[in-house]
Chain A
Amino acid sequence: MNFFKRVWNLYYEGFKNMGPVGKKLWLIILIKLFIMFAILRLFFFPDILEENFSSDKERSDHIINEISKP
């Protein structure tokens, strides 16, 4: 059996024969990742500089303005 098939079998049979605790943990992982990336990241955590400015030059100017004395 070649290497890739053995690796595939390791994962396939591992997931197939997983006990109830393992399945529950995977469910928790998937729900958690969904909440983090599809809800929190998307709706609550925009990248402020990425969204509000279109170039690195604009971002730099903004930050220089923010951090330097008037």
Chain B
Amino acid sequence: MEEALVDWSRAQFALTAMYHWLFVPLTLGLSFIMAIMETIYVKTGNIKWKKTTQFWMTLFGINFAIGVATGIILEFEFGTNWSNYSWFVGDIFGAPLAIEGIMAFFLESAFLAVMFFGWQKVTKKFHLTATWLVALGANLSALWILVANGWMQNPVGMHFNPETARNEMGNFWDVLLNPTAVDKFLHTVSSGYVIGALFVVGVSSWYILKNRHIRFAKRSMVVGAVFGVISSLFIVLTGDSSGHHVAQTQPMKLAAMEGLYEGQEGAGLVAIGVLNPEKEVDNDKDPFYFKVKMPKLLSLLAERDADAFVPGMEDLVYGNTQQGILSTPKKMEKGDRALTALKKYNEAEEAGKDSLASAHLETFRANYPFMGYGYFDQPQETVPPVGLTFYSFHVMVILGFLFVLLFLLVIWFNLKDTILQKRYLLVAATWAIPLGYLASMLGWVVSEVGRQPWTIQDLLPVGVSTSHISASHVQLTFWLFAAIFTILLIAEISIMVRQIKIGPK
């Protein structure tokens, strides 16, 4: 496939997915924070909590309205730019995405109306139920698309039909409960909760800095910070589980995340480090200019054993017989066998040569798990961009820990009732809002850049997934999307900022 076409298709998908993701996490996080605030109102009957809930609900509404349907564009791209891939994934995406559509429509749209229009129309408890259901609906609709993404990272629960060239769902529960999908869902939604918390704490801090709505701000800030701490602990747990599963299913990604070229027993986790950009899998240069490692932690994360062996990129490319790791050239041979057998199977079927067809089918089935490797010319092509993956991962983790510290300090100084004097903390909390988005985006970069060159792990590389269309067409729509999404983002920020400046009633 033409390189420019693949690159533009990839860039366009990255652009639209990342812009879409600018709107989603606040919806996920803020919806729960509003529901908690409204629960306090219903429990205490204190009208101030009602006003607090209504203010954050307005900001939620702005974000929801501007972000709604931005994900649909990704589905347009599947049909136009990624038709090979779309056909290949077959029914696997159909069921989860259909459920997402139904769930998002019925749960969110029905109860969203009650949430916004129903304050004077329904009972307090019914309204509260609607608010919780909106939060639940938003999070559940994220579940299905993340299940689909989890399947791409670790394809399970399906069998490939060589006559139709489609994957067919073998077991729905295997797809839904795929450990990669479960981790991905929990880790991703909890990053949304942290963004929601940072948003509430940051906006509240801004009010205090401006000496406006002080009581409202302190009230909101405490809820946001407590929710943020709980979500951050959850994100650490799900991140740990995610790292463990990545080690099992995508060891190359884990090696890139850690800049680990040579496998080690009792491998340490890099806390901070500067990579040597000249290091490649096929040279002997030192991978790092500088690094600080936490001993044995990577082995513990990957294998739940502090002394276990963690393969590096060189082990995965060139193989390691001692550790039972198959080399990429061997996988390429198997992949080549699968692809050749697929072609011959269909030719034999067409010619009515049944016994020959079943022999080719057997060869195909035996080598199918390595099919994607058959498309590569060089084993080094299976190494993802190491620098981008490594730095994205480490900056994300560092920011995540800084957010925990921020939330804890906010709670502590609120408890001591000295938060109004901590201007440095209030300024930091305000600036933490964009940093939260940055951390979340970097998480996606780790997830998606780290699994290159695959669209579907081990089965289909990106270069084979694209449609035969002109690169200039993709380039044109890339810039169209860039313009539309930028306008939407400017609209979101300007309406949001205006509403924040107006403040709570």
Contact = CB atoms under 8 A, between A and B. Distances in A.
A56 B166 CA distance: 11
Interface string A43-70: 0111111100000100111011011111
Contacts of A70: 343
A2 B86 CA distance: 46
Interface residues of A, number: 38
Contact of B65 (A13, A26, A45): A26
Contacts of B77: 45
B477 interface: yes
- Prevailing SS type, chain B contact patch: helix
Contacts of B165: 60, 63-64, 67
Given A11-B117, A67-B88, A69-B343, A24 B495 contact: yes
A44 to B, nearest CB: 5
A70 B499 CA distance: 60
Given A10-B118, A25-B62, A63-B87, A48 B339 contact: no
Of A41, A49, A61, A64, the most chain B CB neighbours within 10 A belong to: A64
B342 interface: yes
B336 interface: yes
Given A10-B118, A28-B491, A32-B70, 17 more contacts: A6-B121, A10-B113, A13-B121, A14-B113, A15-B117, A26-B65, A29-B68, A32-B488, A36-B69, A36-B73, A44-B476, A45-B77, A63-B84, A63-B165, A64-B343, A67-B84, A68-B346
A38 interface: no
B374 A69 contact: yes
A12 B360 CA distance: 64
23 contacts: A10-B113, A10-B117, A10-B118, A10-B122, A21-B499, A22-B61, A25-B61, A35-B484, A44-B80, A45-B79, A46-B79, A48-B79, A48-B467, A48-B469, A64-B346, A66-B84, A67-B88, A67-B342, A68-B339, A68-B340, A68-B342, A68-B343, A69-B342
A19 to B, nearest CB: 9
B129 interface: no
Given A10-B121, A33-B69, A40 B343 contact: no
B465 to A, nearest CB: 9
Nearest to A24: B495
Nearest to B464: A67
A21 B79 contact: no
B163 interface: yes
Nearest 5 A/B pairs, CB to CB: A14-B117, A25-B65, A47-B79, A45-B76, A68-B343
A53 B162 CA distance: 19
A45 to B, nearest CB: 4
Contact of B80 (A29, A47, A66): A47
B17 to A, nearest CB: 16
B114 interface: yes
Contacts of A68: 339-340, 342-343, 346
A14 B68 CA distance: 19
Nearest to A60: B164
Nearest to B340: A69
Given A25-B65, A32-B69, A46 B80 contact: yes
B320 interface: no
B79 A64 contact: no
A28 B65 contact: yes
B116 interface: yes
